[in-house]
Amino acid sequence: MLLNSVAFAENIDPNDDGSQYAYGENVGWLNFEPNVAGPNVGATVSDPELTGFIWAENIGWINLSPASYGGVLNDGSANLSGYAWGENVGWINFDPNVPGDANDYGVTIDIDGNFGGWAWGENIGWINFQGASKVDWDDLVNFVAQWLQEGIGLEADLFEDEKVDFLDYSILADYWLDDSPPDWQLGPAGYKVKTSWTAMP
């Protein structure tokens, strides 16, 4: 892997395919590359930290590098920690611990630049960086293409009974235009946050 030791202006969604969103059940979508002109708009990932401002339609601007608490830090190996600040929602922890739970829920960046894990805001709950898709028209098109087919391995067989029928449609309808499961199989790569920054080997 290459080492990017110098931060450069906003390096989210390098393939320009919409990989710029995290999701909070209580706050909706967080945009790491908002289409707004201004200094420090959008997130920049570098070896020591994340900087810039991200946008959430329901809660406003979130500062990734506030002076207090040192901002969101990167250990250079793609493990994030520290706190972002939202004027309307307070502190957001990028490396939360759940008392009595040994699992590591913190936000990470994999070898391909994809964010993963969870952040926690005391006032807003969990924010998902796992890359879950949002069920949309593409899913419906893919579903219709397999309508009433039978067989093993059909992506539209959501009920898992080796046929695509109204049982599968009820599952699709339940998730329609809402956050879908992390392993959602019908849609494209899905909404996620991706950076061109790469971790140290």
- Residue-range definition of the domain harbouring residue 144: 137-175
DSSP conformation class of 1: -
69 φ, ψ (degrees, to nearest 5): 65, 5
Query: What's the Cα-to-Cα distance from 79 to each of 28, 70, 88, 146, rounded to whole Å?
Result: 24, 15, 26, 40
Q: Judge whether 57 lies within some domain.
A: yes
Check residue 1 and give its pLDDT.
32
Q: Judge whether 194 lies within some domain.
A: no
Please give the share of the chain, as a percent, with pLDDT higher than 90.
Answer: 46
Q: Mean pLDDT in the chain? A: 84
Q: Judge whether 162 lies within some domain.
A: yes
Q: Judge whether 141 lies within some domain.
A: yes
Identify the weakest region by mean pLDDT among 6-10, 19-23, 52-56, 108-112.
Answer: 6-10
- Strand pairing class (72-74; 80-86): antiparallel
Check residue 132 and give its pLDDT.
54
| Interval 41-51: pLDDT, tens | 999 999 999 99
Q: Name residue 150's beta-bridge partners.
A: 163
Number of structural domains found in the chain: 2
| 102 shares its domain with 26 | yes
CB burial class (10 A; 0-12, 13-18, 19+) of residue 194?
A: buried
Average of per-residue pLDDT across 83-100: 94
CB-CB contact of 93 with 121 (8 Å): yes
Identify the weakest region by mean pLDDT among 135-139, 172-176, 195-199.
Answer: 135-139
Distance CA 42, CA 33 (A): 4
Enter the pTM of the model.
0.69
CB-CB contact of 74 with 198 (8 Å): no
| 33 shares its domain with 58 | yes
| Interval 119-152: pLDDT, tens | 999 999 999 887 655 666 777 888 999 999 999 9
Check residue 185 and give its pLDDT.
62
| 64 shares its domain with 161 | no
| 110 shares its domain with 62 | yes
**Chain centroid, CA 188 distance in Å:** 14
